Amino acid sequence: MIKHSITLPTNQSGYWFVVNKGRLFLTDKGLVPQGKLADLAIVAEPEQICWLGQYQQQPCYLLVDHDQITDDSCWHSARSLLSQDEQLFQLAARALQVSLFLQTHRFCGQCGSAMHLVNWELAALCNKCGHRCYPRIAPCVLVGITRPGQILLARSSRHKPGFFSILAGFVESAETLEQAAVREVKEEVGVDIKNLSYVGSQPWPFPHSLMTGFTADYVRGSIVCQPNEIAEAAWFDLNDLPEVPPAETLSGRIIRQLQQK
Ligand SMILES: [Zn+2]
């Protein structure tokens, strides 16, 4: 659970996840600042501070700064931590998602009054109508589809030419993960799948997704790309793949797992 602190623990040594508009403050060596806040060259004016957890026996804090960007080169995507350390990335993911929650729940979506943070759980409560909000998490399914010796990969219209991945899509209201996987695959490339098998999950703070991963077997259908989302898709030999996501990402892990099957 996240603890809220009202005083800035400037003399407390720890790791400082300073967030501004979805980006993370990193040192010139690309590291999360560590030490006493008073001794660090963190120039952000903190609006809110939260205890996030522990890393290497040290406390980790989120320090939210919504407004001030002093030196643009210090602010990074959390993606740069993904290759450093999984636990560090997870703490950064939490920092980014909590920061977004604090930023977007200052006022009640139901009556427009000011909200305040509940002190025993991470929630925002409306002073006037009692509306309570929790941080939003958007579940997303990733599906690695194979037929003998081949995998179906697609290039999203957001990605550069030559970069392919497995299919992905958001879960809709009142839908199971498995239904979302079948529907997304049919919508995006027009093929039917079976034998869905769960692989794992990964928090993905861009801005608040939870990736869930599956493998599946191809059943029938020719590839027909959904024009708004998929630029191109094709069957690739499992031992001759184009550029795919790195192994630290869940999609990269699924692709490598299918190659070893
Ligand atoms: Zn309200």
pLDDT tens string 77-101: 998 898 888 999 999 999 999 999 9
pLDDT tens for residues 175-215?
Answer: 999 999 999 999 999 999 999 999 999 999 999 999 999 99
pLDDT at position 6: 44
Measured in Å, residue 19 CA sits from the centre of ligand 1 at 27
DSSP 8-state secondary structure symbol assigned to residue 74? G
CATH of 3-104, one of 3.10.180.10, 3.90.79.20, 3.20.20.140, 3.40.50.880: 3.90.79.20
- Within 10 A of 22 (CB to CB), how many other CB atoms are there? 16
Measured in Å, residue 247 CA sits from the centre of ligand 1 at 44
Domain ranges of the chain: 3-104, 106-136, 138-259
22 vs 170, more confident = 170
Measured in Å, residue 116 CA sits from the centre of ligand 1 at 11
- Sequence-ordered list of residues with C-beta below 8 angstroms from that of 112, at least 6 positions apart, any chain: none
- Sequence-ordered list of residues with C-beta below 8 angstroms from that of 114, at least 6 positions apart, any chain: 106, 107, 108, 126, 127
Of the pLDDT bands very low, low, confident and very high (cuts 50, 70, 90), residue 120 is confident
Q: Which residues sit with Cβ closer than 5 angstroms to ligand 1, an ion?
A: 108, 110-111, 113, 126, 128-129, 131
DSSP string, 14-43: EEEEEEETTEEE--TTS---EEEGGGS---
Compute the distance between CA of residue 20 and CA of residue 102 in angstroms, rounded to an integer.
Answer: 12
Q: Give me the architecture of the 138-259 domain, per CATH.
A: Alpha-Beta Complex (3.90)
Measured in Å, residue 98 CA sits from the centre of ligand 1 at 20
pLDDT at position 144: 98
